[in-house]
Amino acid sequence: MTTVGTEIGASSVDKPRQGHMWAGVYRGQGRVVAEEVPIPEISAGEVLVRVAACGICGTDIKKIKQGFLPPPQIFGHEIAGTVVAVGAKVGQWRPGDRVLSFHHIPCGKCFYCDQKLFSQCATYKKVGVTSGFRPSGGGFAQYVRVMDWIAERGMIAIPSGVSFEEAVFVEPLNTCMKAIEKARVQPEENVLVIGQGPIGLLLMLLARHAGARVFTSDPMPARRQKSVALGAEASFDPRKGNLADELLACTSGRGADAVLVGAPQRELLEQALTLVRPGGRVLLFAYNDPLMRVEFPASAVGIEEKEILGSYSASFDMQEESARLVFQRVLPVRELISHRFPLSEIEEALDLAAHPTDGSLKIILVP
């Protein structure tokens, strides 16, 4: 494992057998182990990518910890790497191309695509990147197979001078851009972002990019410090019990125009509703746990006219803009990386992601 610094090279695991690779295989609730598996074979319209970096996402952690999906699977969907083989019908990509890949792409023709609700499209719900077993992203492996509809419309070339580690932020940044749009964040508004982990920091940066005055909260001192260093007006400690008073003092006594909840915990919805002004918006990011139930006072919506919004996954029409913000370094995404792990240490990497310390932020796997 390394902390922030120079990018590191290949994993320290032993060289796999001919035709095989190393992968972090999910073997049951809470258990992922490094194993040898066959390198995926590709068909005529597909692409094989050698993974150079894969970000660990909170959704990966949920799936592993809570055992929502049956094993075996190989997770990891924030993928960047190099094309090593292309199918006979692939004309857009060549071996040696440096690329990132989304893992969901909509059909572009259905009712939901017409409404720009791409994440509700049936084709979008199919995962189109795999390194074996049931398609689940596959970035926790040395190679991934990119299926035809993803290779055609879901891969983006990485410019020279942009690192693979930076490129893995394009997909999560896209998801946060969608949330900012759904929350209708406007210039000069007062926005509170609850949680300053990697996603919360991206939400904060994007809300600032939209012209809002952004306040944040997080129980970890280092994350509050990072938030302010990257541009938040102030970052509050929710454990002190006076978050509402601190926010009111900064917003002319009204509260936030919008509250973005970047930590998917049940109790935070009711807290957010107390912090947003009447007529304001609460955006729940990544509240995708099918077993979670939330409660809130009906009067917050029925009398105070506060809106509760949800946002899930990426938006196809934001691919180019999310890539531009990363590639042109409009947003300092490298500042969010705290740790890098080789594939041989995937268990340690996932444990740190699941149990963050005061000094941990974005964790990158380097297969």
Cis-peptide, bond into residue 238, ω within 30° of zero = no
By the 10 Å C-beta count (0-12 exposed, 13-18 middle, 19+ buried), 160 is classed as exposed
User: 174-311 has which CATH code?
Assistant: 3.40.50.720
The parts of the chain modelled with pLDDT lower than 70 are: 1-13
| Pairing relationship of beta strands 256-261 and 337-342 according to DSSP bridges | unpaired
In whole angstroms, what is the distance from residue 151 CA to residue 148 CA? 5
- Among 364, 360, 336, smallest CA distance to 11 is for 364
Q: Is domain 2-168+332-366 annotated with CATH 3.90.180.10?
A: yes
Q: What are the extents of the domains in the chain?
A: 2-168+332-366, 174-311
**Residue 4 pLDDT:** 45
Contact (Cβ atoms closer than 8 angstroms) between residue 201 and residue 361:
yes
In whole angstroms, what is the distance from residue 191 CA to residue 214 CA? 5
Burial string for 117-136 (b: 16+ CB within 10 Å, else e) reads ebbebebbebbbbbbbbebb
**Residue 290 pLDDT:** 86
Task: Write down the pTM of the prediction.
Answer: 0.95
Contact (Cβ atoms closer than 8 angstroms) between residue 139 and residue 149:
no
**Residue 13 pLDDT:** 58
Alpha helices in the chain (DSSP H): 58-66, 111-114, 148-153, 164-167, 170-182, 198-209, 221-229, 243-250, 268-275, 298-302, 319-327, 346-354
Q: What are phi and psi of 21, to 5 degrees?
A: -145, 170
In whole angstroms, what is the distance from residue 319 CA to residue 99 CA? 13
Task: Name every residue whose Cβ is closer than 8 Å to that of residue 328 and which is 6 or more positions away in sequence.
Answer: none
Contact (Cβ atoms closer than 8 angstroms) between residue 88 and residue 156:
no
Q: How is residue 306 annotated by DSSP?
A: -
